[in-house]
Amino acid sequence: MALPTKLTLHIVSPDQSISQEVDYVSLPGSEGDFGVLPGHTPFFTTLRPGPMWYQQGAEKHFLMVAVGFVEVLPDAVSVLAQVAERAEDLDQARAEAGMKRAEEMLEAVPHEIDFERARLAMLRTLQQLQAESRRGV
C-alpha cells in the first residue's frame, strides 16, 4: 500500500469549519508541539493553547487554537477546537477590547459571572494578541 502524498486538514470550531489539502501540519499538543507529514502513525491528543500552522506548497498559514482535540490519521488531521482563529482575521484593537471585557468579567462578584466563559474569552484574547505580535515579525 502506497503512502499518501498529501493530508486532508479539517479544522472545526464554533465559528468556522475549514478543510484543506496540505503538505504538513504543526500543532500545539498537550505534551508538546508536534508535526504531521502524510503517512503519519495514527494517534489522538488534546490541544494546548498556542499557534498552529499548515503548509501548502511554499505557503504557510497560521492559526491560534485552544481547548480541543486532534486526531491524526495517515492521510488526514482533524482539529476540533473551541478557539481557532486565522492570523489574518485577528485585529489587535478588537483583541485588546476583548481582554478588557474579560478582565472586567473576572473582577465581578463571583456569583454574577460565568467563569468558564470569562476564561475562554481571556484565552482567545491572549492568543489574538500573540498572533498579532507574530504577524508583524
How many beta carbons lie within 10 A of that of residue 90, not counting itself?
A: 20
Query: Which of these, 58, 53, 7, 48, lies nearest to 28 by C-alpha position?
Result: 48
60-to-25, 27, 38 alpha-carbon distances in Å: 10, 13, 16
What global pTM score does this model have?
A: 0.71
Q: What is the pLDDT along the chain (137 residues), one digit of tens a residue?
A: 688 999 999 999 998 899 999 999 999 999 999 999 999 999 999 999 889 999 999 999 999 898 999 999 999 999 999 989 887 776 677 777 777 877 777 676 555 567 677 777 777 777 777 776 666 55
CATH numbers and ranges of domains, the chain: 7-87 (2.60.15.10), 91-135 (1.20.5)
Structure-derived torsion over alpha carbons of residues 90, 131, 52, 118, reported in degrees to the nearest 10: -70
